[in-house]
């Protein structure tokens, strides 16, 4: 993209920024403006003061100095999957890290170092060449950094924990313009905060994390007719009670839109679904799955697969889409929870939701450790996420109303605190963390960004100085 700086840019001093960066600066009025401000979630209408595309960590240092000196604020995005969580971008420069593309795997040490624009699908493929797996989430084109800063709940989580706890070091530029490599020995308070506290503390330029020796898994999806929603979700619930931590599963209702992007026979179809991943042999996996298979699925995709193929298991959209949704944790799920869920989102409800999923937690996700960061565990039995398409205003309102109705129906089982990565509307950080953790994050914010140069998803507000 070649930037065409405009009169607007000159007025706001953005032309000076253009002079000091290797990367591009795009301002309102430029021919590239609408493309530059676009987020992965096409429903987000982002209106920042400018969009910058740093080419290096030095560019990021220059952007931070420029914003501080000229009275702008900064918000950082890898992909814009989480764009719907941002508050107003007034007087805010949007820093897009998509050109920071370095990716190194150390097969001996079983570690990866990736720059801030790298996506999970890229890491999964590179790690798999060495028989290794990363703690990626369900979608291959989610950014490694955004996902990990918010905790990161993936297919291997019940065995290996949240992605944030496998982080070894984070390189970032702080509000005072320093390039910091934070790890357990270097600025440990900052290292604690960025592992789960989100993007409130600086602009991450690279991240280093552990990989695990998992070359293949037993995984797949069972599709049942939508009409059997209550029966299948109840059977899944009974089943997950006794599954080992090597198995992570999802109970889900899906209504695939009738659009060409969705392959037959799923296009336009509605299903009750169980997805699962088992770290172990085919024989053991098939034995574990037997009770659900005996229910007679209409389609069954289970088998041994290379671990990198997990990136397709959840059937997340392969391209940017307009979506609205929200998610939260459920302390527990009972047959009454399922009854309430199916009443709002099941076959007779007229629900417009494309997906309502419950992900099983527990195992390593629930095991605390003194070495963890701000989000080490999730103290709940399940994580729920509901989403629908938002192609126009009417559809958006319809979907939003149904998500709100679902949240109200499930209120008796809802956990007190939200789930950072699944909360898809702007939330104050205070509602997402236990009080002591939030206070700790606020003190780190005071130490590193007291004037709130950085606007992040689910922001941490600096503690009030006495
Ligand atoms: C289809 C889909 C599937 C998903 N699946 C999962 C899943 O399986 N598990 C899970 O835990 N979550 C999942 N999520 C949620 C996802 O982890 C969050 O939306 C996450 O924030 C996305 O990161 P991103 O960098 O792609 O998004 P962005 O919108 O680019 O970034 C999100 C936020 O992260 C911060 N940030 C990003 N980059 C930087 C940086 N370089 N420096 C500082 N701060 C930064 C900013 O605060 C930014 O607003 C999913 C979301 C979608 C849309």
Peptide bond into 414 cis (omega under 30): no
Q: What is the pLDDT of residues 179-199, one digit of tens each?
A: 999 999 999 999 999 999 999
- Asked if pLDDT for residue 377 goes beyond 50, the answer is yes
- For the CA of 39, the closest atom of ligand 1 is 29
Distance CA 48, CA 26 (A): 10
- Compute the distance from residue 155 Cα to the ligand 1 centre, in Å: 16
pLDDT of residue 12: 66
Nearest to 180 by CA among 205, 144, 210: 205
Distance 420 CA to ligand 1 centre (A): 10
Structure tokens given for 459: 């922001």
Say if ligand 1 is within 6 A of residue 83 CB: yes
Q: What is the mean pLDDT of the chain?
A: 95
pLDDT at 266: 87
Atom index in ligand 1 nearest the CA of residue 41 equals: 53
Listed as own residue / partner, the contacts of 288-294 with beta carbons closer than 8 Å and 24 or more positions apart are: 288/243, 288/244, 288/247, 289/222, 291/235, 291/239, 292/222, 292/235, 292/236, 292/239, 293/222
Q: Is 293 helix (H, G, I), strand (E, B) or coil?
A: helix
Which residue has the CA at smallest separation from atom 51 of ligand 1?
81
Q: What confidence tens digit (pLDDT) does each residue in 72-131 have?
A: 999 999 999 999 999 999 999 999 999 999 999 999 999 999 999 999 999 999 999 999
As a whole number of Å, the end-to-end CA separation of the chain is: 48
Mean pLDDT, residues 394-418 taken together? 96
**305-343 pLDDT, tens digit each:** 999 999 999 999 989 999 999 999 999 999 999 999 999
Decide: 198 in ligand 1 pocket, CB within 6 A.
yes
Average pLDDT over residues 262-283: 94
Mutate-to-test residue for ligand 1 from 77, 134, 252, highest number of ligand atoms within 8 A of CB: 77
Atom of ligand 1 nearest to the CA of 150: 21
The reported pLDDT for the residue numbered 430 is: 85
DSSP states of 46-70? ---SEEEE-SSHHHHHHHHHHHHHH
Distance of CA 200 to the CA centre of its chain: 16
Residue nearest to atom 44 of ligand 1 (CA): 199
pLDDT computed for residue 18 by the predictor: 87
Instruction: Find out whether the beta carbon of 140 lies less than 6 Å from any atom of ligand 1.
Output: no
Q: Is the CB of 324 under 6 A from ligand 1?
A: no
Prediction pTM value? 0.96
Which of these, 84, 42, 37, lies nearest to 390 by C-alpha position?
42
* Whether pLDDT at 390 is above 60: yes
421 lines ligand 1 (CB under 6 A): yes
Q: Is 121 in the pocket of ligand 1 (CB under 6 A)?
A: no
Task: Give me ligand 1 centre to Cα 77, in Å.
Answer: 8
Which of 41, 48, 76, 198 for a ligand 1 pocket mutation test, highest count of atoms within 8 Å of Cβ?
76
């Amino acid at each position: 993209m070649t930037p065409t700086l405009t009169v607007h840019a000159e007025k706001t001093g953005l032309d000076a920024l253009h002079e000091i960066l290797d990367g591009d600066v795009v301002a309102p009025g430029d021919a590239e403006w609408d493309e530059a401000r676009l987020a992965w979630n096409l429903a987000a209408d982002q209106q920042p003061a400018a969009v910058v595309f740093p080419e290096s960590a030095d560019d990021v240092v220059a952007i931070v100095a420029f914003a501080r000196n000229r009275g702008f604020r900064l918000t950082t995005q890898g992909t814009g999957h989480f764009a719907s969580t941002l508050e107003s971008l007034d007087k805010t420069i949007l820093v897009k890290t998509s050109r920071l593309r370095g990716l190194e795997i150390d097969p001996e040490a079983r570690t990866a170092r990736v720059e801030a624009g790298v996506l999970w699908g890229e890491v999964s493929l590179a790690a798999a060449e060495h028989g290794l797996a990363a703690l990626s989430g369900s979608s291959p084109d989610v950014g490694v950094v955004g996902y990990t800063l918010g905790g990161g709940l993936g297919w291997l989580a019940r065995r290996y924990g949240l992605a944030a706890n496998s982080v070894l070091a984070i390189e970032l530029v702080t509000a005072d313009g320093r390039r910091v490599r934070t790890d357990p020995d270097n600025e440990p308070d900052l290292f604690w905060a960025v592992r789960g506290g989100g993007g409130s503390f600086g602009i991450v330029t690279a991240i280093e994390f552990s990989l695990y020796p998992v070359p293949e898994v037993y995984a797949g999806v069972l599709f049942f007719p939508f009409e059997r929603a209550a029966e299948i979700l109840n059977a899944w619930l009974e089943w997950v009670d006794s599954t080992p931590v090597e198995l992570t599963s999802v109970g889900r209702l899906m209504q695939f839109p009738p659009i060409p992007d969705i392959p037959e026979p799923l296009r336009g179809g509605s299903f009750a679904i169980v997805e699962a991943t088992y770290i172990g042999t085919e024989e053991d996996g098939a034995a574990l799955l037997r009770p659900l298979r005996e229910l007679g699925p209409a389609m069954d995709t289970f088998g041994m697969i290379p671990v990198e193929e997990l990136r397709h298991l959840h059937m997340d959209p392969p391209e940017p889409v307009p979506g609205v949704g929200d998610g939260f944790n459920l302390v527990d799920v009972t047959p009454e929870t399922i009854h309430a869920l199916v009443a709002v989102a099941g076959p007779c409800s007229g629900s417009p939701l494309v997906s309502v999923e419950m992900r099983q937690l527990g195992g390593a996700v629930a095991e605390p450790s003194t070495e963890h960061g701000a989000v080490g565990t999730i103290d709940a039995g399940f994580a729920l996420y509901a989403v629908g398409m938002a192609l126009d205003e009417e559809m958006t309102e319809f979907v939003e109303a149904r998500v709100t109705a679902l949240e109200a129906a499930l209120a008796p089982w809802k956990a007190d605190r939200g789930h950072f990565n699944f909360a898809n509307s702007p939330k104050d950080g205070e509602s997402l963390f236990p009080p002591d953790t939030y206070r700790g994050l606020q003190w780190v914010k005071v130490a590193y960004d007291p004037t709130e140069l950085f606007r992040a998803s689910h922001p941490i507000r600096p503690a009030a100085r006495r």
